[in-house]
């Protein structure tokens, strides 16, 4: 397959991955399980998918591999918990402040210098993020927003650590985190209701929303620049609250909607500006 065809296929992979990720909000809202139990149950199924793909368990562990694994675990837990405590829209858009931190972490650890567009997008994203806290929130809703904002930081750490393994097999980090969660968290499942509906939701989350989505994402990054992948990934925060509104009827507040548009605008400004500044490949 030539490079152009591989690139087009990879763009399709990224679009499909974003669509799969976007279904997480409505599924998490639809199960009666607690966040940690969802994380453990989901990871049972996603671990099987990744083990079938890799056909082995990672044996060579590096610093970046472990950082990516821990960051992935924290990101998953914070996102699931925040989705339970606040609206799905707030959870996903606050998580998508991650590109802001990727700029800083990439400069510190990967020596990738921020561009003028990066600096321009920072205040835009921050101003949008603060609007999420302008709605009338319960104590739980406020806690959910804080956890969602923290998940943006851990998501950035995960992305930088995965990018640092571009010459290796970054999907191994995801598998390490998931197997660790299953081994130590399995007893939590016995506290939950083992209904068919709950298990089907958890199985979908593990197989499709995480397992297949991360396989598509990590393979696509071999042919598509990371900043372009970020731009395509903004489909997730657009679609996530849409599914929740359609199937559950949950709608974000007016301040959150304005904040979401501002955050998304900041991410798009950053991604488009970086893509234009990037040299054109031969």
What is the model's pTM?
0.80
Q: Give residue-wise pLDDT tens across range 204-214.
A: 999 999 999 99
Task: Give the span between the Cα atoms of 75 and 154, in whole angstroms.
Answer: 5
Task: Give the span between the Cα atoms of 157 and 74, in whole angstroms.
Answer: 10
Task: Write down the pLDDT at residue 215.
Answer: 92
Task: Give the span between the Cα atoms of 279 and 254, in whole angstroms.
Answer: 40
pLDDT-wise least confident of 33-42, 46-55, 220-229, 237-246:
220-229
Task: State how far Cα 93 lies from the chain centre.
Answer: 11
- The predicted model gives 255-276 an average pLDDT of 73
Shortest CA distance to 237 belongs to which of 78, 91, 55? Answer: 91
Task: Write down the pLDDT at residue 271.
Answer: 63
**22 phi, psi to nearest 5 deg:** -65, -20
Q: How many residues does the chain have?
A: 282
Q: Give residue-wise pLDDT tens across range 84-141.
A: 888 887 888 888 788 778 778 877 777 766 667 767 777 887 787 777 766 655 666 8
pLDDT-wise least confident of 24-38, 104-118, 167-181:
104-118
């Amino acid at each position: 397959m030539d490079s152009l065809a591989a690139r087009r296929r990879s763009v399709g992979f990224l679009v499909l991955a974003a669509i799969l990720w976007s279904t997480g909000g409505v599924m998490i809202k639809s199960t009666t399980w607690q966040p940690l139990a969802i994380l453990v149950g989901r990871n049972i199924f996603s671990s099987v998918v990744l083990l079938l793909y890799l056909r082995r368990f990672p044996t060579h562990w590096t610093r970046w591999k472990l950082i990516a694994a821990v960051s992935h675990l924290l990101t998953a837990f914070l996102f699931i918990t925040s989705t339970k405590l606040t609206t799905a829209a707030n959870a996903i858009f606050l998580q998508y402040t991650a590109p802001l931190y990727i700029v800083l972490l990439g400069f510190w650890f990967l020596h990738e210098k921020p561009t003028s567009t990066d600096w321009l997008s920072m205040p835009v994203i921050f101003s949008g993020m603060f609007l999420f806290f302008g709605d009338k929130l319960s104590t739980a809703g406020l806690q959910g927003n804080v956890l969602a904002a923290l998940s943006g930081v851990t998501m950035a750490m995960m992305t930088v650590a995965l990018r640092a393994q571009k010459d290796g097999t970054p999907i191994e980090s995801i598998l390490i985190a998931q197997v660790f969660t299953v081994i130590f968290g399995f007893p939590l499942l016995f506290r939950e209701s083992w209904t068919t509906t709950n298990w089907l939701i958890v199985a979908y989350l593990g197989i499709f929303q995480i397992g297949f989505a991360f396989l598509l994402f990590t393979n696509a990054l071999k042919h598509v620049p990371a900043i372009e992948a970020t731009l395509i990934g903004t489909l997730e925060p657009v679609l996530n609250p849409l599914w929740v509104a359609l199937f559950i009827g949950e709608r974000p507040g007016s301040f959150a909607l304005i904040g979401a548009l501002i955050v998304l605008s900041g991410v798009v400004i950053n991604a488009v500006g970086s893509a234009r500044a990037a040299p054109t490949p031969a």
